[in-house]
Amino acid sequence: MTSPVEIKIEIPGRPYSVWIGAGILERAGEFLPLSERVDVAMLAADETALTLYGERASAGLEATCVRVERESIEGGEAAKTMSRAESLLRRLTAAGAHRRDLLVALGGGATGDLVGFVAATYHRGMPFAQMPTTLLAQVDASIGGKTGVNLPEGKNLVGAYHQPVAVISDVTTLQSLPGGEFSSGLAEVVKHGLIDDADLLSLLQRERAAIFDREPMSLVRLVSQAASIKARIVAADETEQGRRAFLNYGHTLGHALEALGGYSTWRHGEAVAIGMMFAAHLAAGLGFADRVAEHARAVEAAGLPVAGAEAPFESVLRAMGGDKKYHGGIRFVILEDLGRPRLVSDVSTDLVRSAYEKVSA
């Protein structure tokens, strides 16, 4: 059996590891840094993940937990509501969970966001572990401790920073992802490559066939390289005071499109892909390097759209102004050149409109 890749995240006072491999869900207990067996482990998962991987994950947890409880939650962004958070909090109470027990997120990024938020607030903070089963979650959402739920007015407007005790990414779970969801996850791979490491884009191009065939070792290489970039950035800037903000590349417009579509029109990665194309056009309009063509090649290699936004510009502008990253004006992450991100503000509405029109339907 091939040993999993370990990526250490050295956040002061809260270090943990991301484990990436094939067939490691059943071995979850090996990767949980628990000093003693916990009384209750609550495994929270959407119905699909619970059906496909609940038995494997439970078997892995039973090595270190006296009792494993399972809780089914809605899939996708529909799970990320205050009412669903309250339901899970009360389920923990009914199960007799205490602050030294364990809450585990099994599923995609939305599941991790909700479960992490609940873990951050139950008894003012309890341990939780991530078992991401989507590409989006394995390369991005499960790493870094961002948790949250949505409000009707916007995405992730309520949340907390709460680091997991471990992230256990089993790439065999990606075999069951529908093609659209797999490509959606590749948006974050492209983002990491554009803002930090062009070698990751080269890997995606070079091993594209094997990656889309879900070949385990190619997936381990892809997920490990992308996760390493995220890990390095969040370890240096846990609460987004500096460089971590660059991980929002493509997300200012992306989140606006998601919100305006009621979180049902666009997959997250599709919206972010259009958001990155928008940012490339905006950078060129601001006089920075014109890397629109390079963006388009990377986005298309991931099977994602380079345009297609349909919302009226005025609605998009209002939605971007309501984003949690707003700071005396809309702040955009753009690239001075590949691998050289920067924040800009005070961008003229005309320039923003021009860039948006280039990614509109």
DSSP 143: S
229 and 331 together in one domain: yes
Do 251 and 293 sit in the same domain of this protein?
A: yes
Task: Indicate which residue of 27, 56, 192, 251 is catalytic.
Answer: 251
For 162-186, the DSSP string reads ---SEEEEEGGGGGGS-HHHHHHHH
To the query of whether residue 80 is one of the catalytic residues in this protein, the response is: no
Which SS3 state, helix, strand or coil, does residue 125 take?
A: coil
Rounded to whole angstroms, how far apart are CA atoms 262 and 219?
A: 31
Q: What is the reported pTM?
A: 0.92
Residue 188 annotated as catalytic: yes
Indicate which CATH number applies to the domain containing 17: 3.40.50.1970
Q: Which one of 177, 212, 241 terminates a domain?
A: 177
Q: Active-site residue among 162, 244, 281, 291?
A: 244
Boundary-marking domain end, from 177, 201, 231: 177
CATH of the domain at 306: 1.20.1090.10
The residue annotated as part of the active site, out of 80, 162, 255, 295, is 255
30 is an active site residue: no
237 lies in the same domain as 315: yes
User: Do 353 and 264 fall within a single domain?
Assistant: yes
Query: What is residue 327's predicted lDDT score, i.e. its pLDDT?
Result: 52
Cα–Cα distance measured from residue 312 to residue 314, given in angstroms and rounded to the nearest whole number: 6
Q: Which of 119, 152, 177 is the last residue of a domain?
A: 177
156 and 80: one domain? yes
- The one catalytic residue in 26, 56, 248, 267 is 248
In a shared domain, residues 205 and 165: no
> Does 123 participate in catalysis according to the annotation?
no
Number of domains in the chain: 2
Q: Based on the domain organization, do 173 and 184 belong to the same domain?
A: no
Q: Tokens representing 239?
A: 């609460």
27, 155, 230, 267: the active-site residue: 230
- Please give the full DSSP string across 297-324, using - where no structure is assigned: HHHHHTT--S--B-S-HHHHHHHHHTST
Containing 21, the helix (H) or strand (E) segment is strand 16-21
Q: Are residues 144 and 261 in the same domain?
A: no
Look up 244 and say whether it is catalytic. yes
End-to-end CA gap in the chain: 48
Q: Are 106 and 54 in contact (CB under 8 A)?
A: yes
Rounded Cα gap, residues 68 and 65, in angstroms: 7
Under DSSP, is residue 225 helix (H, G, I), strand (E, B) or coil? helix
Same domain, 192 and 66: no
Asked about 291 being catalytic, the answer comes back as no
Same domain, 188 and 122: no
Which of the residues 268, 291, 295, 331 is marked catalytic? 268
Q: Give 214: exposed, middle or buried? Use CB within 10 Å, 0-12, 13-18, 19+.
A: middle
DSSP assignment of 191-211 equals HHHHHT-HHHHHHHHHTHHHH
Helix (H) or strand (E) holding 64: none
CA distance 208 to 183: 11
Catalytic residue list contains 327? no
Structure tokens at 181: 């969801």
The encoded tokens of residue 198 equal 């062009």
Q: Which residues lie closer than 8 Å to 297 by C-beta, 6 or more apart?
A: none
Tell me, yes or no, if 192 is annotated catalytic.
no
Active site residue 98: no
Q: How far is CA 115 from the centre of its chain?
A: 13
Whether residues 210 and 331 share a domain: the answer is yes
Which residue in the list 71, 77, 181, 188 is annotated as catalytic? 188
137 in Cβ contact with 102 (< 8 Å): no
Q: What is the pLDDT along the chain (361 residues), one digit of tens a residue?
A: 578 999 999 998 899 999 999 999 999 999 999 878 889 999 999 999 999 999 999 999 998 898 999 999 998 888 999 999 999 999 999 999 999 999 999 999 999 999 999 999 999 999 999 999 999 999 999 999 999 999 887 778 899 999 999 999 999 999 999 999 999 999 999 999 999 999 999 999 999 999 999 999 999 999 999 999 999 999 988 888 888 999 999 999 999 999 899 888 999 999 999 999 999 999 999 999 999 999 999 999 999 999 999 999 999 999 998 755 555 579 999 999 999 999 999 899 999 999 999 999 7
Q: What is the pLDDT of residue 241?
A: 80
Same domain, 230 and 292: yes
Residues 162 and 117 sit within 8 Å (Cβ to Cβ): yes
Half-sphere exposure of 22 (CA within 13 A, CB side): 13
Give me the residues paired with residue 68 across strands: 41
Residue 317: domain span: 180-358
- Please give the pLDDT value at position 321: 86
3-class SS letters over 145-167: CEEEEEECCEEEEEEEECCCCEE
